[in-house]
Structure formats: C-alpha cells, structure tokens
C-alpha cells in the first residue's frame, strides 16, 4: 500500500527535524559553542516549512508537527533533553517553544486559506536565516564592542551587537529577494526595495524583541509585512486560497539538505570552520538550486581537490621543511572560514542566479570558469610552496618569501595550469548537456582553460601590486599579516588576499565571456 503525500510529509518532518538535532549535538562534541549549535538547529528546523508546502494538502496533517514540537520543546526546556537547542544560560527564555507556536499559527493561516503561502515562507525563513545568521555573526565579535542594546534598550539584558544586527538584515534581505523573485512578477527595483524593507524590519523586530520573543514577532510580523508588500508589487498574485506549492521549495529543498550534509562532513573533517560550513552550505544551495547540479559538482570538485592537495602538501612540507612558515601568510590555518569560502564561490553563485533569471546559458559557463580560476589559484598556492627554488615576484622578478601573494614558481605555475585544465574538462563535460551554447565544445574548453589559468595570473598580479602588504617589525621581512604594529608598505588595509581572490575570480569570468565572443566571431568568419 502506497503512503499518501500527507504521511510522507509527516515522516520527512520528524526525520528531518531529529536529524538536525542529532547533527547539532554531534557538532557540539567537536567544540562548537552551545549558542552556535542552537542557531544551527534554528536555521535547519525552519526548512521544515518547505516540506510542509510540498507534501501536505490537509491542515490537520500539517499542524501535527508544530503542535507536537510545542510539547517536545517544552519538555526539553524543562528537563534539558536536547542540549543542542537549549539556551546556554538555562531557563533564560522560551524561544524554542515560541518557534513551533509561530509555525502552528502560520500553518493554520496558510492551510486555512487566510494567508498566502509566499508571505508565510518569507516570515519563517527570515526567522530561521535572519535570526540565526545574526547570532552567529554577533558571536564572533568582541562582546564589549559595538553593542546596540546599551544605547537603545537599556532595560533589556540581551547583548546585541551592531554586526549581529547587520547580519540579521543581510540574511533576511537575501531570503526575501529569492522568494519575491519567484512569486511576484515585478520590476527589479521594486523587488529589491521590498526585500530591503523586509530585511530592515526583521533586524528592527529582532533588536526590540527580548527573551526569545523574536521567535514569534519575526515570523508573524514579517509574514504580515510580506503579505502587504506582495499585494503592492503584484496585486492579486499572492491572494490567499488553496495551497499551491511554490517552485522555490521544489528548487531548494533537496539542494539545502545535500549541502548541509556536505558542509557538516567538511567541518567534521576540519576542512572548514563553522562559519565556513554555514557559508558553504548557503552558497552551495544557491548554485545547486539555481545553477543546477552540474555547476554544483564543479564547486564540489574545487573544494575537495583543493582540500586534499592542501593536506598532502602540508604534510610533506612539515616533513621536509620543518622551519618553513605556513603557506597562508595571514596565519588563519588550512580550515577555510566564511570569508575565504565567499571570496572563491560568491561570484559563481551570482552567475548561477543570473543564468536562472536571465535564461542565458553562457552565464552559467562564465560562473564555472570562475571556479576554474579559483581551482588554478589554490592549486598553485598549495603545490608551489613545495618548490625547491624560491619564488619570484611576478611584477619585478625579484626573489620573495614563500607564500607571499604575487610570488610565482615554475612548479606553482604548472599546478595552476593543471587545475585550470582539469576543471575545464569537468565543466565542459557536465555543462554541455544542460546549458548548450552556440559554440563547439573544443572552443568552450579552450576559453575556460585560458580563463582559469589567466585568473591565477591575475590573482598574482593584483596580489603583488594592490593587495595590502606590511613590513614585519621584528624580522623586517614583507608580510601580509598586519599584526599589531606592522606598518603598511603597499596597497590598502581592506584589500586583503580574500578581496584579491574574489576580484580574480570575477575577472576570470569576464575573460571567459570575452574569449567566447572572440571565438564566436572567428568561427563565424571561418
């Protein structure tokens, strides 16, 4: 006997929520903070809504999950059953109970035909991602700096940083953009304005909601605001009525689950930091959901190959050159944080979005060409450090310290070429069936290879000229680490290695588009 869609929805609801709880508790054992684990649960559980709107057609079945978790979460709060979702300060607030109450209210409103599904989707995901990312950003800021609460809410004991508040605003704006683009056929300026309004409202509501009450005020308040804005953007398009699953849920449900699993494994294997895992999951979901699995596989290839090569070369360097400094002059270690992940993958994610909404396949190819450049540059850095000859600055030809941006070796350049070629082969094979363009595969492969290797060269050129460079006050040697008193001798403080990487990836994508245009002209002339 086949299970009905409602029964499948119930099964997936409980399996999904408990899987998030178990994963968070396991991550806590790997030394992430209790607060970080709690927000990981917060973000993960909010995606239950995607299961609800895809599988349930009955309000009774849809309400079973939220109502049962009101009881389960209350028991956990009372007896501290699930440590990963409880506040580190015991008895501090009932936020974990308020969240399923909000879900129950919005579920009843949507499945009862009172509120449009798009509005509730924005409210719930802003609660998950907005509040979750705000807390994760705020946790990494000094507790005594840039606090908002002491200046605005002296009677509320919650400590909320400016960085955390901006994190809430940015994440909520991103959620609103995605849902509004899919559900409201309006011009981009109007959509962007509405998304910014939602982001700002979410940040303000979170700021003024003490003791976990934001788990009620954000989802319900933002859902009502989104309902109003949807009606203004496209009158009648978001009218309440019988539930129709929105396409955004179908696009992002599986990619979200897969990328959370991949990010968790990467974290446990010490490939990324916690913030890097969150950023990787978000960007990976964007690329897979909007760019397709072909582009996502190239992203995974970049990450896995770079991580493996990094570990192999690090082990060999420790054996053969115990006195050699680490390859990363900024001393952040081999684990990629959110800044490093974003610098390498944000531009390809942007091209995936542009391809989805612009319906121009060549844009997806350009994004993958950016990944070829990221792969080439990373291979060059990781393998080049093993060179027995000292690197030379690409602009002056003078010897420099191993690991400095702008330094090149023959071995590193060969590794960059190999990384670009390997990624170009994989990208061409994967993209041809799903994003065909009016250019033969050899030309596309050639353009991607050149752009990938060129991106590595561009990275070295910018790194040796515009990137911030300092002088170590102890040794007198050049360094990329500002330290405490190291004077700036080149570039701008904000132009870090991560900025260089992002610019190089973007320019590599631009080089690919220029080459495709040129090769297309040659082919037409021929």
Among 245, 263, 287, where does a domain finish?
Answer: 245
DSSP state, residue 390: P
The DSSP bridge pattern shows strands 469-471 and 392-393 to be unpaired
Which tokens belong to 281? 């999951």
The rounded distance, in Å, linking the Cα atoms of 84 and 37 is 5
Whether the CB-CB separation of 41 and 24 falls below 8 Å is answered with yes
Burial of 142 (0-12, 13-18, 19+ CB in 10 A): exposed
- 212 and 273 part of one domain: no
The rounded distance, in Å, linking the Cα atoms of 147 and 165 is 10
- 234 and 331 part of one domain: no
- 168 and 261 part of one domain: no
Residues counted in the chain? 526
pLDDT along the chain (526 residues), means of 10: 77 89 76 73 88 90 92 79 56 73 91 88 92 70 47 46 83 90 77 90 86 86 88 66 57 77 81 84 88 93 90 67 46 70 93 86 95 95 87 85 82 94 95 90 94 95 87 78 79 86 95 91 58
Instruction: Please state the pTM of the whole predicted model.
Output: 0.66
- 395 and 340 part of one domain: yes
- 181 and 276 part of one domain: no
- 77 and 189 part of one domain: yes
The rounded distance, in Å, linking the Cα atoms of 486 and 466 is 17
- 238 and 375 part of one domain: no
The reported pLDDT for the residue numbered 504 is 95
The reported pLDDT for the residue numbered 31 is 61
Among 245, 264, 298, where does a domain finish?
Answer: 245
Among 245, 262, 288, where does a domain finish?
Answer: 245
- 55 and 147 part of one domain: yes
The reported pLDDT for the residue numbered 326 is 46
- 416 and 519 part of one domain: yes
* Number of domains, the chain: 2
Residue 27: name the closest of 17, 38, 18 by CA: 38
The reported pLDDT for the residue numbered 238 is 58
- 369 and 432 part of one domain: yes
The rounded distance, in Å, linking the Cα atoms of 352 and 349 is 5
Residue 81: name the closest of 68, 94, 92, 72 by CA: 72
- 421 and 332 part of one domain: yes
- 266 and 337 part of one domain: yes
Domain range spanning residue 186? 5-245
């Amino acid at each position: 006997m086949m299970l009905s869609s409602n029964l499948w929805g119930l099964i997936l609801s409980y399996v999904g929520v408990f899987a998030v709880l178990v994963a968070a508790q396991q991550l806590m054992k790997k030394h992430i903070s209790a607060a970080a684990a709690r927000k990981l649960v917060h973000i993960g559980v909010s995606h239950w809504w995607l299961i609800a709107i895809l599988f349930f057609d009955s309000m009774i079945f849809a309400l079973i999950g939220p109502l049962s978790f009101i009881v389960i979460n209350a028991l956990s709060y009372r007896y501290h059953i699930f440590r990963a979702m409880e506040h580190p300060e015991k008895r501090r607030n009932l936020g974990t109970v308020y969240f399923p109450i909000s879900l129950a209210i919005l579920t009843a409103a949507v499945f009862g035909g009172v509120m449009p599904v798009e509005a509730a989707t924005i409210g719930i995901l802003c609660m998950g991602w907005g509040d979750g990312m705000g807390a994760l950003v705020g946790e990494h800021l000094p507790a005594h700096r840039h606090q908002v609460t002491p200046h605005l809410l002296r009677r509320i004991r919650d400590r909320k940083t400016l960085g955390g508040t901006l994190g809430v605003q940015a994440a909520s704006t991103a959620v609103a953009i995605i849902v509004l683009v899919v559900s409201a056929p309006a011009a981009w300026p109007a959509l962007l304005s509405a998304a910014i309004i939602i982001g700002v409202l979410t940040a303000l509501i979170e700021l003024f909601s003490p003791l976990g009450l934001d788990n009620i005020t954000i989802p319900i308040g933002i859902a009502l605001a989104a309902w109003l804005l949807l009606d203004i953007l496209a009158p009648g398009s978001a009218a309440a009525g019988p539930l129709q699953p929105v396409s955004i849920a179908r696009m992002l449900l599986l990619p979200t689950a897969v990328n959370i699993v991949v990010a968790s494994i990467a974290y446990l294997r010490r490939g990324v930091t916690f913030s890097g895992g969150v950023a990787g999951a978000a960007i990976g979901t964007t690329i897979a959901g909007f760019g397709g699995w072909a582009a996502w596989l190239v992203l995974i290839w970049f990450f896995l190959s770079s991580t493996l090569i990094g570990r192999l070369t690090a082990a060999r360097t420790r054996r053969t050159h115990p006195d050699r400094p680490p390859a990363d002059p900024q001393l952040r270690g081999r684990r990629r944080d959110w800044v490093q992940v974003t610098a390498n993958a944000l531009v390809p994610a942007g091209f995936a979005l542009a391809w989805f909404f612009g319906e121009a396949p060549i844009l997806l190819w350009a994004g993958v060409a950016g990944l070829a450049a990221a792969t080439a540059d990373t291979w060059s850095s990781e393998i080049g450090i093993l060179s027995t000859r000292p690197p030379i600055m690409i602009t002056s030809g003078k010897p420099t310290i191993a690991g400095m941006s702008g330094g090149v070796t023959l071995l590193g350049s060969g590794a960059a070429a190999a990384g670009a070629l390997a990624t170009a082969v994989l990208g061409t094979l994967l993209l041809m069936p799903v994003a065909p363009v009016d250019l033969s595969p050899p030309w596309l492969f050639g353009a991607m290879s050149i752009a990938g290797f060129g991106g590595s060269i561009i990275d070295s050129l910018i790194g040796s000229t515009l990137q911030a460079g300092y002088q170590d006050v102890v040794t007198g040697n050049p360094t990329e680490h500002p330290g405490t008193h190291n004077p700036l001798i080149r570039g701008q403080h904000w132009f870090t290695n991560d900025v260089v990487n992002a610019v190089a990836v973007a320019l590599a994508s631009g080089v690919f588009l220029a080459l495709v245009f040129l090769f297309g002209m040659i082919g037409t002339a021929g």
